[in-house]
Structure 1
Amino acid sequence: MVPEKYGFILLYLIAIWDLGSGENVTVKFSKSSLDIEVRENHTLIITLSDNLTRDADLIFTYSDKYEDVYSNILPIPNISIDSKEGLTSWQINVVGDNPGHVILGLDSNSSEIQDIKKAFVRIDVVHSSPLVIINAVIGWIYFAAWSVSFYPQVYVNWKRKSVVGLNFDFLCYNITGFLAYGFFNVGMYWVKEVSDEYFRHHPRGINPVQLNDVIFTLHAVLITSITIFQCFLYERGTQRVSYVCRILVAAAWLFAGISLVVTLVKKITWLTYLYYFSYIKLGVTLIKYVPQAWMNYKRKSTMGWSIGNVLLDFTGGSLSLLQMFLLSYNSDDWSSIFGDPTKFGLGFFSILFDILFIIQHYCLYGGKNPYEEITDKEVEINASTTESSRYSY
C-alpha cells in the first residue's frame, strides 16, 4: 500500500507541474525597431520564453503612436501554435507597403502568455535608406554646430577684455532657458520615477529625451555660466540687467517654485512639473534675442556681439529644419512639421533673428564704432572746455 500511496502523490505532482508549466510565458520580437524601404523584405523572429500547454493563436496588430489601427506594411499571417509540437520561435517576413510609421504588436487568445502588449516593434517604412543615413549625419553636424556656437562669444570677451556690446538681458534669459531645459532633460532621462510615469501614459512610446540632449544642455549651462562670469571680470561700462528682464525671470522662477510646492503635496505629478520647465524654455526662446537686436540698433554697432555665435547658430538651425523636412518626406509624415507648429515655429523664429543679426553685422553696422548719445550736460562741459582753451594761450 505504501508504494501505491507514493505513486499517487507522484502522479499528482506531475499533473500540477504540467498545469503550471505554461504559466507566465512571455513573448518578444528579435528587434525593437526596424527601418525598411517600400517593397523591401525583412525577417523578424518571434520567441516564446517557454512551451505552452494548450493550443493558441498569435494575432498581429497594427497601430501608430496614437494607438489607432494603421498599417504601412503588408498584412502578416497570424501564427497558430500547436502545443504538441513544442515550437517556441517563428520567423516572419515584414514587407514595406507605404511610407510611414507603424507599431507591429501582438494579441493572443491564450491566458498563459503574460504582458503580451509589451511585445512590439516600431517600424519606419521609408522611400530611401541612404536618406536615413544622410539625416543621421545632418543631425550630428547641427549638434556640433550648436555646441560650438557658445565659444566665439567667450573668445571675443577674453580677447577684448570687455563685455561691452553683449546684452546682459540676453545672458539672463539664456541661462534661465537652459537651466529650465536642463531640469526637464535630466528629469526625463535619469529620474526613473518620471520615465516610468511617461511610459505609463505612452506604453509604446520612446523617451523624447536622449543622452545627447542631456549632454548638450549641461554643456550649454556651463559655457553660459562662464560668459556670465566674464561680465563680472571684464569691463562692462554702464550695462546692467533691465527691470523688465528681472521681472520676467523672477516670475518664471516664482512659477517654478509654486509648482514645486503643488507637486510636493501631490496635486500634480512630477512629469507634469517637468513639462512646466519645457514651457519656460519655450517662452524664453521667443524673447531672448530681442534685447540684443535692439541694443545693436541703438548703438548702431555690433561690436562686442560675436558674429561667430550667430553663424554657427544659423547653421545648426537651418540644418535642423532641413532634417525635419527630409524626415517628413522620407516617411511621408508631414504632420511631424505642420502637426507640431510650436517646434517648427520656434526653430524658424530663431533663424529669422540670426538673419537679422547677420544683416546688422555685415550690411548695416559692420566695422562701425558704437554710437553714444551726448547729454546736454556733456555739451555744456565740452563747450566750456573749448572756451577756456581759447584763452589759455
Structure 2
Amino acid sequence: MKESNPSAAKVDQLFDELLQDYSGPEAVLGEQGLLKQLTKRLVEKALQAELSHHLQQHNHPLTPGAELPRERRNSRNGFSKKTVQAELEELELQVPRDRFSQFEPVLVKKGQRRISGLDDKILALYARGLSTRDIQAQLEELYGVEISATLISQVTDAVAEEVRQWQGRPLDKVYPIVWLDALCVKVRSEGRVRSQAVYLVLGVNLEGHKELLGMWMSPAEGAKFWLSVLTELKNRGVEDVFIAWVDGLVGFPEAIKTVYPSARVQLCIVHLMRKSLKYVPWKLQREAVAELKPIYQAATVAEAEAALETFAQKWDEHYPSISQLWLRHWEHIIPLFDYPADIRRVIYTTNAIESLNRSLRKVLKTKGHFPSDESVFKLLYLALSNIAKRWTMPIPNWKQALSRFAIEFSDRLSH
C-alpha cells in the first residue's frame, strides 16, 4: 500500500476550505471569482519573495559580522500598481518596490504587460490563417476576454526578428535530397495588389528528417532568382546536394548545376503530370493518368521509352503536346530509373514538397492579399513551425535509401 502524500493532503484540505462556500461557476470563474483572486495573490506573493531575495543579496555583508552603513542598505519602498494581461483575464497587481529602484522582477518583468501563455495562443491562431478580427472573436468566445487588435499585432510582429534569424541560420554540409518549388501569393505594394512568388527549399538531411532550408520572395518565379537562392544556401554551409527535384521551369537545371555541379537534377513527376493534364479535356484526364503511369513506373529506361512510345501512338493524333512535353524533359526524367522501386518511393511518392504546399495553401486561402512582404513571411513561418512539429520521424524507407546513397556517393558522404 502506498503512503499518502502529506503535501497533497494539505493542498486538498486548503481547496476544501476555499470551496466551502461554493455557490456556482461564477464563484470560481467570475470577474471576482476564486481563480482570478488566487492567480493575483500567487503572482504578488512570488514578486514579494523575489524582492526579499534581492534585498538579502544586496544587504548581505561581504565580511562576516560586518554591516553595511545605513545609507547603503536597501529596503522595501511600498508598491506600484500594474495591470497585466494573464491567460484568461486582466490582473491588477501590487508590485513591490525597493528604496534604490534596483529590483528587477523575473516573473513579471519591467515593461511586461502580458503573462506567458497568452502570446502562444495568439500565435497558434495566427499560424492557422486567422485574421486579427477572427483571433479577437475566438479568444473572447473561448475565454471571455477582450484582446485589442493592437496587442495581437504586437505579438505577431515580434516574430519578425525570429524569422530573420531563422532565415540566416547555418545549414548542414550535405542534403541528399532537396525539393525546390514556389507558391504564388498576392501582396499590396504601392497601392496595387501584385502577385509574388514565394520560393521554398525543402531538404532531407542525413538522418532522413525533413527540414525547410529557407523562404524567399520575388515578383515571379525565374531561373535567375533561383540561382541567387542556391548561392545563398551555399554561403550558409550547404556544400553538396545529391538529388534536386524541380518543376519544368526553363533554365532551372542549369542554375542548379552552376552552384552544385555534381547534383542530379530530377524533374518532379507530380508537376509533369499536372502540366500534361492541361492539354487533356477533363473527361479524359483519368484515362490519361492511367496510361502515363507505365512510363514513370517502368523498371528501366528502355521500358520507359517503350511506354512513352505506346502512349504517343494513341494520344498524339489529338493531343501531341503531351508526349512532346515528356520528350523535351526526358534528360531530367530518366535519373529516376537509376534507383530501385523502394528508393523511388522515398524521393517522389512521398511528394514532400506537394504535401507541404497543400498545408500552406490551406493557410493562405484565408487571405485575399497581404499588406507587405514581411506579413507573408510572418504567417508562413508560423504555419511552417506548426507543420514541422509533425516531422519527428525519418521519411519512410530512409535506411534503404541511405545505404544506396552510401554506395553511389561514397566519396561525397564523407565530407
User: Fold-level match, TM-score > 0.5?
Assistant: no
* TM-score of the pair, normalised by structure 2: 0.26
* TM-score of the pair, normalised by structure 1: 0.27
Greater helix proportion = 1
Q: Which structure would you say has the larger RCO, counting Cα contacts within 8 Å and 6 or more residues apart?
A: 1
